[in-house]
Amino acid sequence: MVEKHRQKAPATLGDVLYAAPRARVREQDWATLVGSIAAGDQLALQALFEMAHRMVFTLAMRITSSRETAEEVTIDVFHDVRRGASRYDADNGSA
């Protein structure tokens, strides 16, 4: 009899933040996205949002314990990324 392996839902924030990613994103890919966002590429901002919004929302939800506030914080984070992307300097830290 073949047993199907079910993925267990993350129980803690650590399970989400430190889970083995399906496809690891290289730092250069993050930096390229930020550079494209700085150049005004809305599709790059959308791609970044799709890649990271769940983690941002989960962290905000854990901190605030309020879905409404976590949603607002998530949007604010990506708004701040868009506004600050032109100031990103890879020599001063990771994307």
Taking only the tens place, the pLDDT of each residue in 68-91 is: 999 999 999 999 999 999 998 888
Q: Residue 72: what pLDDT?
A: 97
CB atoms within 10 A of CB 11: 8
The owner of tokens 């409404």 is: 68
Task: Find the helix packing angle between 67-84 and 27-38, rounded to 10°.
Answer: 80
**Cα dihedral angle (87, 88, 90, 93), rounded to 10 degrees?**
110
- pLDDT tens digits, residue range 20-71? 656 677 888 889 999 999 999 999 999 999 999 999 999 999 999 999 999 9
Chain length of the chain: 95
Enter the pTM of the model: 0.70
